[in-house]
């Protein structure tokens, strides 16, 4: 009976040691994953800030007005140049923040058809229409957040509306897709950076 008791106690101790080791490994793994994730988020944030510092007018997207003969497009060079010029004016006018903007309404505003516009956006902006507009909207709000401290105090739902998104959720998803960080992470780090630079 005494031997059985010792064996039972030994088994319990082994189980406890194995359980404790597994828990420690899981916690350590979780901490490592969290730290790696935080590092990646901060790198993404820094990349956006560096791009803003380099070219404050257009942090993520760049516009091309040159018509490349390498692009496989079935529209005349003259028409391509004209539409690219109108797209550049459209980007500067910030009309992309209108919620009801669609490919059809933009084509009408630019005095072209949806096929040409869609093809030119695809070839020269290297995006489909939705990604192109979403990118412009995120660039717009990133600039507002960077340049104007009052924007950092607004709710995410207001920021979403301010740049043309119909919902907070869609805005948050697109923001993260474009920048690699969530809107709240970006805002909190901007606030932190401003506080550190003020002291």
Contacts of 14 (CB under 8 A, 6+ apart): none
pLDDT tens digits, one per residue of 156-174: 999 999 999 999 999 999 9
Asked if residue 156 lies in contact with residue 183, where contact means CB atoms within 8 angstroms, the answer is: yes
Q: Does domain 77-198 have CATH number 3.30.70.120?
A: no
Closest-CA residue to 63 (of 86, 79, 97): 86
CA dist., res. 85 & res. 91, Å (int): 10
Contacts of 28 (CB under 8 A, 6+ apart): none
Average confidence (pLDDT) over 33-53: 82
- Supply the pLDDT for residue 51: 81
pLDDT tens digits, one per residue of 99-120: 999 999 999 999 999 999 999 9
CB atoms within 10 A of CB 7: 10
Instruction: Give residue limits of the domains in the chain.
Output: 1-54, 77-198
- Supply the pLDDT for residue 27: 86
């Amino acid at each position: 009976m005494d031997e059985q008791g010792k064996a039972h106690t030994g088994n319990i101790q082994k189980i406890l040691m194995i359980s404790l080791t597994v828990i420690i490994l899981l916690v350590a793994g979780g901490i490592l994953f969290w730290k790696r994730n935080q590092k990646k988020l901060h790198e993404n944030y820094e990349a956006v800030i560096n791009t803003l510092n380099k070219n404050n007018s257009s942090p993520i997207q760049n516009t091309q007005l040159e018509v490349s003969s390498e692009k496989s497009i079935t529209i005349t060079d003259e028409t391509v140049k004209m539409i690219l010029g109108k797209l550049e004016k459209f980007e500067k006018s910030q009309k992309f923040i209108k919620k009801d903007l669609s490919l059809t309404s933009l084509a009408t505003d630019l005095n072209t058809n949806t096929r040409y516009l869609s093809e030119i956006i695809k070839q020269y902006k290297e995006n489909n229409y939705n990604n192109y507009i979403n990118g412009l909207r995120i660039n717009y709000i990133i600039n507002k957040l960077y340049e104007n401290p009052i924007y950092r105090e607004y709710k995410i739902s207001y920021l979403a509306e301010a740049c043309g998104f119909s919902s907070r959720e869609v805005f948050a998803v697109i923001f993260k897709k474009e920048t690699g960080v969530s809107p709240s992470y970006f805002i909190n780090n901007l606030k932190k950076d401003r506080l550190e630079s003020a002291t």
